[in-house]
Chains A and B, each alone.
Chain A
Amino acid sequence: MNELTDAATSNDPAEGLRAVRSLRHLADRLEALQVEKARAEGWSWQAIADVLNVSRQAVHKKYGRRS
């Protein structure tokens, strides 16, 4: 556990930036999964867009062709 805390406070930008990159990627994956699920459950593009706080067009463009 100490190791984790140490790493978190190491102030190493390289590690911090890798964490940021990984978080973006992680968010993308989770978004894809959740959007797919919402659509399968009958959510409209507008409803999904509202929760994600983006435009309907943005969500539809990103995921529309697949579902």
Chain B
Amino acid sequence: MFEKFTKPARFAVIDAAQIAQGSGNKRVDSRHLLLALVRSDAKVRAALTAVGAEVDAVDKHLTAGVENNELDAEALAAIGIDLFEVKRRVNEQFGEDAWQAAGGAKRSKKQPRFSPDAKDALKAGLLESMKDEGREIAASHLALGILGVTGPGSDSLEEAGIDVRALREQLAGR
């Protein structure tokens, strides 16, 4: 499936799987893919800047979202648990980054699988590459694919107040 991917695109997929695994997520979804691209792809970063978004803030927002895949701060608050406070105390008692480390610590070595929205995004990325009449799926095609489907990836960007359509246009160079 990935033989048509350019090297950066392939690495982004591998990174996404590692991000998912590292935060104890069983599935790689479109947000993991997007986060991997935001961290690695110059074109994606430039496009974000062009639509007025701050790359670091987007990275942080997506990272928080990935963690919330398993730990829903709002739902916990509803039953009286302050997740922020739990994290703070854990890091206080066990040392800086202990919280984060524990998240990925006992996860299996099994490769996480793709969620349906990630599969859709990969397919959409393939279609985007065909529009360019290229034979390869580049990181920017993958990004366009992610932004073109509904899922945690594009949802998170909208939550962060980013104009997804403008971002798509920017990436497509139209």
**Chain A residues near B (Cβ < 8 Å):** 4, 7-8, 10, 15-16, 18-19, 21-23, 25-26, 28-30, 32-33, 36-37, 62-63, 66
Contacts and interface: CB of A to CB of B under 8 A. Distances in A.
Given A29-B103, A32-B102, A33-B94, A22 B75 contact: yes
Interface string B64-80: 00000011101111111
B72 A32 contact: no
Contacts of A4: 77-78, 80
A10 B133 CA distance: 52
A42 to B, nearest CB: 17
Contacts of A18: 72, 74-75
Give chain B's interface residue range (CB within 8 Å of chain A).
20 to 34
A10 to B, nearest CB: 7
A25 B24 contact: yes
B105 A22 contact: no
A3 to B, nearest CB: 9
A66 B105 CA distance: 9
12 contacts: A7-B74, A8-B79, A15-B75, A19-B72, A19-B78, A19-B79, A22-B71, A22-B75, A25-B70, A29-B99, A32-B106, A63-B106
A21 B75 CA distance: 9
Contacts of A33: 90, 94, 98, 102
A33 B80 CA distance: 22
Given A4-B80, A30-B90, A19 B106 contact: no
Nearest to B79: A19
B42 interface: no
The 7 A-B residue pairs whose C-beta atoms are closest, nearest first, are A7-B78, A18-B75, A19-B75, A25-B70, A18-B72, A29-B102, A22-B72
B76 A62 contact: no
A22 B94 contact: no
